[in-house]
Structure 1
């Protein structure tokens, strides 16, 4: 009987201790939970205050110019843009230069009032697809960055008038869809890695100014005359060896820069390009050696004016072009006459 009582007492004591242990465990777990929630709440509070501080700093960068609200940041360290920037989505222009910015945030699509996005001289590597939602954007300036790829969604920027992608070095293609940019007038693709003019560029109906200098262009498209509105074409420092015959059909072209290429001749029909007022063939291995005749002066004032005219003659090169074509024609006739005489 005594053994039975002892066993019952032990069982009761064991149950009592187990109950106490479970209670203590629950209390400890509740304390840990409160600490975790308190820590998260603390971190949340810290995050809120940080956002407020960053937003206040960004607001100091706002300026109003010509009735346009501009966010201007220069020569500061902003490798990324904070999400709280969305609260300033009434901004119409971004000017963020030399900040080390590495990416354009996807929330750029929230800035539906944006007219100008200027992120020149940063370290941006790609253009987000969301940028195509900015249907009011007029200027996209991304020169001196590290962009290697342009998304087809950019064609959604239906109001775009100016696109600057100069000096991205590795950029060598553009999507065909960009020909849908019906209002694009100014395109700068200089100092990249293009070996030909993209088809979409030739298909831009409103394009007036194109710079593809400093690439690896080896030829120009035969249908270059499709760029009917083009008046300025910059092709310096490429590898062009000849010009397509249809270039003479570009009736609006008034500026043509072809310096530092591999041209050996000038198409004779270019003589009829009456609107061409600025042309430069300097530093090409042209077959003929043509030198413009010097002009005599009478007094110091006239001499100074003459020096300016000579500089213009060399710079514009139109007179040189005409003399070259005339000299080439003369030599061709001379060769033909010799051939006839021998026959």
Structure 2
């Protein structure tokens, strides 16, 4: 019979190894249970937080003239919670001065949205999902930090009013913008445009356009294509001349061109019979002209309108024509005198 010798050290090592493995296994199971518990608590906490947030948002919902409106102003809401998507029946957002930094991607769930008013916030971009809002009529994003408009904006085919004033770095619009066939009101003032984009010129229903305080250097030669436009605000730009075709804008009744670099007024503008108010104040016009004294009964406001309005424009054109004719006559006389002298000397 052969004896088997068992080393006590080896048995103890094996025993210690198994005890360590068993302990680790128990610890792992305990840890896993704790993590599951924490996740469950987290989900429960998150659910409660969503319910609390949703309840808070519901307090901001009002109904006016049959329209469901979410109205928040002067509160801190840098981001909007996903729970808001549960209120998809809202037709109008009015969220002002709440520090909002981003339009949520779930905005596309609000298919009934008619008005999206997020002016005076800190929004930097318009999400592509905006194109899903096919019922949207008004998009108001003035006084934000938007520097890019996505091409999907062209899918908002019912948009009638768009305001993007005071976004500072905005200087272009996508070609798809011309798809907004119902747009009649557009405010692009206080940005960085150097000309009126062609996609704006081609808008068939545009009636009101403000591009004041940009960097406009020229106006498009085909500006007359905006044949429905009745109000055009272009103050505080860099315009040095006006295209003759501006005189073909037969619907235009208000034109503001103050604080540009205009040297002259196109004579053809004299034929713009529908033009009721025009302002050329603070331009370095070639001729310094003043209107005849007005009636003493005319109040200051009326006097201001007369001095820099339609009457001033007509008087300036007539004066420029007269002085231009005098200059031509003087040049002609000098030329004829020179010819006479040459003839007599020969």
In structure 1, the residue matched to 2:341 is none
Distance 1:201 1:41, change over 3 A: same
Matched residue, 1:47: 46
Q: Residues 137-286 of structure 1: matches in 2 within 5 Å?
A: 137-286=136-285
Q: Taking structure 1 as reference, are residues 108 and 36 closer, same or farther at Cα in structure 2, changes over 3 Å only?
A: same
How far did 1:10 drift?
A: 8.1
Checking the alignment, whether the CA contact within 8 Å between 2:100 and 2:123 is kept in structure 1 is: yes
Please give the residue correspondences for 1:1-343 in structure 2 after superposition, counting only pairs within 5 Å. Answer: 4=4, 7=6, 22-297=21-296, 303=297, 305-314=298-307, 317-342=309-334, 343=336
Structure 2 length as normaliser, TM-score? 0.92
In the TM superposition, residue 31 of structure 1 has moved relative to its aligned partner by 1.7
Q: CA deviation at 1:335?
A: 2.3
Contact 1:77 1:99 in 2 (8 A): yes
What is the rounded CA distance, in whole Å, between the counterparts of 1:254 and 1:218 in structure 2? 23
Query: Would the aligned equivalents of 2:290 and 2:307 in 1 still touch at CA under 8 Å?
Result: no
Post-superposition CA distance 1:157-192 (Å, at most 9, x none): 010001101000111111111011111111111000
Cα displacement string for residues 99-135 of structure 1 (whole angstroms, at most 9, x for unaligned residues): 1110101110000000000100000000000101100
Are 1:171 and 1:192, in contact at CA under 8 Å, matched by a contact in 2? yes
User: What's the TM-score once normalised by structure 1's chain length?
Assistant: 0.92
| CA apart distance, 1:294 | 1.4
SS at match of 1:163: strand
**Equivalent pair of 1:132/1:156 in contact (CA under 8 Å):** yes
Structure 1, residues 45-93: CA drift from partner, whole Å, max 9, x if none? 1111111111111111111111111101111111111111000110000
3-state SS in 2 of match to 1:117 = strand
SS of the residue aligned with 1:327? helix
Q: Per the alignment, in what secondary structure is the counterpart of residue 6 of structure 2?
A: helix
Superposition deviation, residue 262 in structure 1: 0.3
CA-CA distance at 1:340 after TM superposition:
3.9
Rate the CA distance shift 1:3–1:144 in 2: closer, same or farther, 3 A.
same
- How far is the alpha carbon of 1:32 from its aligned partner? 1.6
Alpha-carbon distance between aligned partners in 1 of 2:91 and 2:321, rounded to the nearest angstrom? 57
| Matched residue count | 335
**Using a 3 Å threshold, how does the CA distance of structure 1 residues 155 and 34 change in structure 2: closer, same or farther?**
same
Structure 1 residues 14 and 326 mapped into 2: Cα distance closer, same or farther (>3 Å)?
Answer: closer
Q: Which runs of 5+ in 2 are unaligned?
A: 337-346
Q: In the TM superposition, what whole-angstrom CA distance separates every residue of 1:137-163 from its partner, at most 9, and x where no partner exists?
A: 001100000011111111110100011
Q: Which runs of 5+ in 1 are unaligned?
A: 298-302
Deviation at 1:205, TM superposition (A): 1.1
